[in-house]
A and B are shown apart, each in its own frame.
Chain A
Amino acid sequence: MSARARRVGLLVVAVIAIAWPAILSDYSRSLATDGLISGLIVLSLVLLTGFVGQISFCQYSFAAVGAFTVGSLVAAHHWSFWLAMPLGVFGAAVVGALVGIPALRLSGLFLTILTVAVALFFDRFILASGTWDAFSGGLSSFVVGRPSFLGVHLDTSYRFYLFVLGTFSLCSLGVWNFRRGKTGRVLRAIRDAEVAASTLGINLTAWKLAAFATSAALAGLAGALLAVSIGSVSTGGYDLVHSLGVAAVATVMGVNSVASAAAGGLFLVFGPEILRHLGVSSQWFNLITGALLIVQLIVTPDGMVTDFQHKLGHLLRHRAARKAPVPATELDVRDDVPVRTGVRS
Chain B
Amino acid sequence: MGLPAVLGVNFHLTPGYTVIGIVLGGVYALAAVGLVLIYRVSGVLNFAHGAVAMFATFTAYEVSTVKGAPGWIGAIVAIAVGAALGFAIEYFTIRPLHGRPALVKVVVTIGWLLVLQTAAGLIWGATAYHQPVRLVSRDGFRLVGTDVTVGYDQLTTVIVALIFALAVAALLRYTTLGNAMRAVADNPDTARLWGISVNRVTAASWMVGSAMAAVAGVLITPLIAFDTFSLTVVVIYAFTAALIGRLSSLPMTVVGGFLLGLAQTYPRMFSSLSGTADAVTFALVLLTLGVLFRPGGRKVRVV
Chain A interface residues toward B at CB < 8 A: 55, 102, 105-110, 112-114, 116-118, 120-121, 124-126, 128-133, 138, 240, 244-245, 247-248, 251, 281, 283-284, 286-287, 289-294, 297-298, 301, 338-345
Q: Is the CB of B122 within 8 A of A294?
A: no
A125 to B289, CA, bound (A): 20
Known contacts A108-B102, A297-B107, A338-B100: A125-B278 contact under CB 8 Å: yes
- The answer to whether B96 and A116 have CB atoms under 8 Å apart is no
B residues in contact with A344, CB < 8 Å = 43, 102, 302-303
B120 vs chain A, min Cβ distance (A): 10
Query: Which stretch in B12-20, B130-138, B207-215, B269-277 binds the other chain?
Result: B269-277
Say whether A130 contacts B1, CB under 8 Å: yes
Does the CB pair B2–A109 fall under 8 Å? Answer: no
Q: Which 3 A-B pairs have the closest CB atoms?
A: A290-B114, A293-B111, A125-B275
- Known A124-B275, A293-B114, A294-B93; judge A338-B101 contact (CB<8 A): yes
**Interface positions of B from 164 to 223, Cβ below 8 Å from A:** none
Specify the chain A residue showing the minimal Cβ separation from B5. Answer: A130
CB pair B104–A118 under 8 Å, yes or no, is no
Residue interface bits B60-83, CB-to-A below 8 A is 1, else 0: 000000000000000000000000
Asked whether A116 lies within 8 Å of B236 as measured between CB atoms, the reply is yes
**A102 & B289 in contact (Cβ 8 Å cutoff):** yes
Count A-B contacts at CB 8 Å.
162
Nearest-neighbour CB distance to chain B for A342, whole angstroms, equals 4
Instruction: Name B's A-contacting residues (CB within 8 A).
Output: 1-2, 4, 43, 45, 93, 96-104, 106-108, 110-115, 117-119, 121-122, 126, 236, 239-240, 243, 272-276, 278-279, 281-282, 285-286, 289-290, 292-293, 295, 301-303
B302 to chain A, nearest CB (A): 5
Contact of B282 among A117, A130, A245 (CB under 8 A): A117
Q: How far is A289 from B117 in the complex, measured between Cα atoms in Å?
A: 12
Q: Is B286 a contact of A131 with CB atoms below 8 Å?
A: no
- Residue contact A294 to B279, C-beta cutoff 8 Å: no
A113, B110: Cα distance in complex, Å: 13
CB–CB A301/B100 < 8 A? yes
Flag if B111 contacts A109 (CB, 8 Å).
Answer: no
Q: Known contacts A248-B110, A294-B93; is A341 also within 8 Å of B103 by CB?
A: yes
Taking a contact as CB atoms closer than 8 A, the residue among B45, B112, B273 that contacts A294 in the complex is B112
Chain B binding surface SS class: helix
Closest to A294 in B: B111
CB nearest neighbor in A for B240: A117
**Whole-angstrom distance from the CB of B93 to the nearest CB of chain A?**
5
Residue of A whose beta carbon sits closest to that of B276:
A125
A125 to B98, CA, bound (A): 39
CB-based nearest B residue for A120: B278
- Are B113 and A342 in contact, with the CB atoms below 8 A? no
User: How far is A112 from B103 in the complex, measured between Cα atoms in Å?
Assistant: 8
Take A109-B45, A342-B43, A342-B103 as given contacts and tell me if A283 and B111 are in contact as well, using a CB distance cutoff of 8 Å. Answer: no
CA distance A58 to B289 in the complex (A): 17
> Would you call A281 and B93 a contact (CB within 8 A)?
no
Of the listed residues B96, B97, B110, the one surrounded by the most CB atoms of chain A closer than 10 A to its CB is: B110
| Chain A residues, Cβ within 8 Å of B243 | 113
Which residues on the A side are within 8 Å of B282 (C-beta)? 117-118, 120-121, 125
Please judge, given known A-B contacts A112-B103, A297-B97, whether A287 and B236 are in contact too, CB under 8 Å: no
- 27 A-B pairs with CB atoms under 8 Å apart are A105-B293, A108-B102, A109-B106, A112-B103, A112-B106, A113-B285, A114-B286, A121-B279, A125-B275, A128-B274, A128-B275, A130-B4, A131-B273, A281-B122, A283-B122, A286-B118, A287-B114, A287-B119, A287-B122, A292-B111, A294-B111, A298-B96, A301-B104, A340-B101, A341-B102, A342-B101, A344-B303
Q: Given known contacts A120-B282, A290-B111, A293-B108, is B1 in contact with A106 (CB within 8 Å)? A: no
In whole Å, how far is A32's beta carbon from the nearest beta carbon of chain B?
24
Give which listed residue, A112, A130, A297, A338, contacts B2 with CB less than 8 A: A130
User: Chain A contacts of B302 at CB under 8 A?
Assistant: 107, 109, 342-344
Tell me which residues across on chain B come within 8 A of A339, comparing CB atoms: 101, 103-104
Q: A116 near B279 (CB under 8 angstroms)? A: no
| Distance of A254 Cα from B118 Cα, bound (Å) | 23
Contacts of B295 in A (CB 8 A): 105
Chain A residue with Cβ nearest B111:
A293
- Bound-state CA distance A125–B274 (Å) is 8
Q: Tell whether, in the assembled complex, residue A116 and residue B275 are in contact, meaning their CB atoms are under 8 Å apart.
A: no
B115/A124 in contact, CB under 8 A? no
